[in-house]
Structure 1
Amino acid sequence: MKGFLAVILNMGIVRKPTIPEYWNKSYDSQLSRWFMKLFSRNRFQLILKFFHLVDNKKIPNRNSPNYRPDSKIRPLIDHFNRVATYFYTPDRNICVDESLIGTRGRTAMLQYIPSKAAKFGVKFWVLAESTTGYVAHLKCYLGKKFTPTSNLLQGTEVVLRLLKNCNLLQKGYHVVCDSFFCSFDLARKLIDLNTYLTGTLRSNRKIVYVRQGEILAAAYKGRESKKPVRMISTFINAANSNGKPKIIQHYNMNMGGVDGADMMLHFYNDNRKSTKVWKKLAINIIHRMCSNAYILYRKNTSDAPVKSRLRFIQEVIEALSSEYLVGRNQPVRGVRQTRRDVTIQHIQGRKEKDCVACSDRATGQRRRSRTQCTRCLRGLHFACLKNHLCMEE
């Protein structure tokens, strides 16, 4: 599994159009020796095919009242939330927003959001730290059919649920969110829970008073704006700075936590299409774990200079792949063998294996061998020994 995760993470850095291309041996310019060293193409695809988080036999049937469309991914989501909350306490300014994982696969969780780049996908409610983008909690939106009815507005319900699950209520946190979540109802409830709120308001939510108790409502129209921006806050005072209300400046400074986390995720995630929606979600969450780990490294390291995120991910990949290769009795990075240490031997029981050097099932050129490499135990002809990867290390 460590080797499999190393390959998944590395595919986000070394991007190719299809998975079989990572094992393309037809052209020297396309060789990816690291991927070949860890797995054969067929083995990796089999692991990916049978990769599961739960036993499908234990999942309720679609017609069952206990059925949930996120059943196959829920253990990983729960683990992510548990670990993210345990290892890090966010700073005072946090934000709540929605994150869309683009997919057009068949699932009851599929949502259409025209304002997003992907438009179709599975939506997550995300609570993140405003400054770093550290994701403290995420919740998959299952759709209206699987959402229990509540007397609260949906935005209010989501924000309160995320804060409660992270144990951040009654601690003076300052939440920033957009007009989907923000309302006078949410502001009142958070004030009672010693939590502050700043965010935009939709135009259909009427502002009757400029100030109502501790709730400040404001409308601002910039020089190039056609419509005024409506804001609400229980923390910022009615004051201006550089010609703009402070409430606008605070919102712009602290609202980008979730979007920033999604942007960081996009850089080193290949976003490969998958017919199994839950697998795409699982891989996305694995990348989120790696992103959170880098933020923890930045917060807790005294190294000078601090490693870049790319270098950090590369070292995670090296560590995972090295542990996997040690388990297979394969040489790790930095340990070289001489050519005389690599020979061939007959396979016991008169069995045959595909030659690792000259056989390629993808092109129909399958060549069998009764001999194997003494180092990696893969099928190998004597004539192909000089072209074998083990001879080059």
Structure 2
Amino acid sequence: MKRTIHLNDNTQISGTVDRFFKVRPIFTFLNTMFRAELQTQKQSVDEVMVAYKGKTAGNLRQYIKNKPDKWGFKLFARASEDGFIHDMVLYQGKTMLQAHGLPLSPEQEAMGSTSQIVSVLASTMSSSTITAIFADNFFTSLDLVCYLKDINCRYTGTVRENRMGKPPLKPVKEMEKKIVPRGTIDYVSSDDGILVVRWKDNKVVTLLSTDMGVEPVSSVYRYSSEGKRKDEVRCPAVIKSYNTNMGGIDNNDILVHLYRTPMKSKRWYLRLFAYAIDVSLTNAWIMYKRDCKALAEDTMPFKSFKIQLGR
């Protein structure tokens, strides 16, 4: 069966900038289908690693040390909060977005490369005006937040020190001192509604957001090695929102890893073909669970009515 798998016309490969030419048609088809499905109002953007340890793919094979699959093909994906992946960008270096097939506007071209990825994935959402995007500090920049705000799309993400401008916040080194208690919050908001908040947990975390504010401040519990107990720590609302909604890609990744399609081959692109099967099955399972949940909610009034009649 593997000998008969053929995904694209090899006579068209000369002159193309697409290094994933071999599997591009199936990923283009899947992206088109996935974008058409129901999208929740909380979307997350993150990296996905498709495991591959062979060497025939050259530098298309990437390494990320904090992923379960450290070696493999790197994808950038956008997913709903339940884990349904709606769009995927295959990483291949400078020509990545050109091969993806979506042209960049002048505003997008002025951004950094990682922020461009989020802007491209956001452009394929069914309704950006009622959607909030969550991403980590690999993608977040002040330029990205301003761009999304201009198209009425809300955003929340952790941010690196050199990508957030120069807001008047306490320095990270000062907040890291032991005399500063865990749960300390420092924040500032611009006139156009961009919030920068810095919060001390086990480490100091900085976020940019146009979706949530600091209030209401709630509590989380953290273990204290000094007191040998869990202490109550103040936590801003934007941090809780980020932690709750950032896990869409991870949820999908867990389901994909449960039953991966075995596809050992010297042809590197067959590993991506196997992932296309896996992500399709996972998305189908999530759609099934959505339908079951919707059906249960629709029939709930009738169930309670029967129970009352039985009494």
TM tier relative to shorter chain:
0.7 to 0.9
Contact 2:48-2:76 at 8 Å conserved across structures: yes
Report the equivalent of 1:199.
Answer: 157
2:210 to 212, 228, 234: 234
> Given residue 230 of structure 1, which amino acid in structure 2 is its aligned partner?
T
Number of residues of Structure 1 aligned to a counterpart in Structure 2: 248
Distance 2:259 2:291 in 1: 23
Query: Secondary structure of the residue that 1:204 maps to in structure 2?
Result: helix
Deviation at 1:271, TM superposition (A): 5.2
Query: Secondary structure of the residue that 2:77 maps to in structure 1?
Result: strand
> Given residue 126 of structure 1, which amino acid in structure 2 is its aligned partner?
A
Q: How does 1:117-266 map to 2 (within 5 A)?
A: 117-130=68-81, 132-144=82-94, 150-169=109-128, 171-205=129-163, 207-209=166-168, 210-213=188-191, 214-222=193-201, 225=202, 227-239=203-215, 240-242=217-219, 243-266=234-257
Contact 1:103-1:273 at 8 Å conserved across structures: no
Q: How does 1:216-365 map to 2 (within 5 A)?
A: 216-222=195-201, 225=202, 227-239=203-215, 240-242=217-219, 243-270=234-261, 272-301=263-292
Report the equivalent of 1:53.
Answer: 7
Contact 1:197-1:234 at 8 Å conserved across structures: yes
Deviation at 1:156, TM superposition (A): 1.9
Contact 1:237-1:247 at 8 Å conserved across structures: yes
Distance 1:264 1:55 in 2: 32
Deviation at 1:234, TM superposition (A): 0.5
Deviation at 1:161, TM superposition (A): 0.6
Relative to its length, the structure with more strand (as a share) is: 2
Distance 2:92 2:284 in 1: 27
Report the equivalent of 2:46.
Answer: 97
Query: Secondary structure of the residue that 2:114 maps to in structure 1?
Result: helix
Unaligned runs of 5+ in 2: 99-103, 169-187, 220-233, 297-311
Query: Secondary structure of the residue that 1:275 maps to in structure 2?
Result: coil
Deviation at 1:281, TM superposition (A): 0.5
Contact 1:200-1:229 at 8 Å conserved across structures: yes
Contact 1:133-1:260 at 8 Å conserved across structures: yes
Contact 2:49-2:75 at 8 Å conserved across structures: yes
> Given residue 189 of structure 2, which amino acid in structure 1 is its aligned partner?
R
RMSD: 2.0
> Given residue 211 of structure 1, which amino acid in structure 2 is its aligned partner?
S
Deviation at 1:141, TM superposition (A): 1.1
TM normalised by structure 2 equals 0.74
1:188-238 per-position Cα deviation (integer Å, ceiling 9, x unaligned):
11111111001101133354142123110111112xx1x301111101112
TM normalised by structure 1 equals 0.59
Percent identity of paired positions between Structure 1 and Structure 2: 29
Distance 1:198 1:280 in 2: 33
Say whether residues 1:74 and 2:24 are aligned partners.
yes
Deviation at 1:103, TM superposition (A): 1.2
Q: Note closer, same or farther for the CA distance 1:54–1:272 as it changes in structure 2 (3 Å cut).
A: closer
Query: Secondary structure of the residue that 2:47 maps to in structure 1?
Result: strand
Query: Secondary structure of the residue that 1:217 maps to in structure 2?
Result: strand
Report the equivalent of 1:386.
Answer: none
Q: Note closer, same or farther for the CA distance 1:104–1:144 as it changes in structure 2 (3 Å cut).
A: farther
1:71-105 per-position Cα deviation (integer Å, ceiling 9, x unaligned):
1111100110111122x221111101110112133
Contact 1:104-1:120 at 8 Å conserved across structures: yes
Report the equivalent of 2:179.
Answer: none
Distance 1:260 1:125 in 2: 15
Distance 1:73 1:166 in 2: 23
Report the equivalent of 1:84.
Answer: 34
Distance 2:17 2:141 in 1: 32
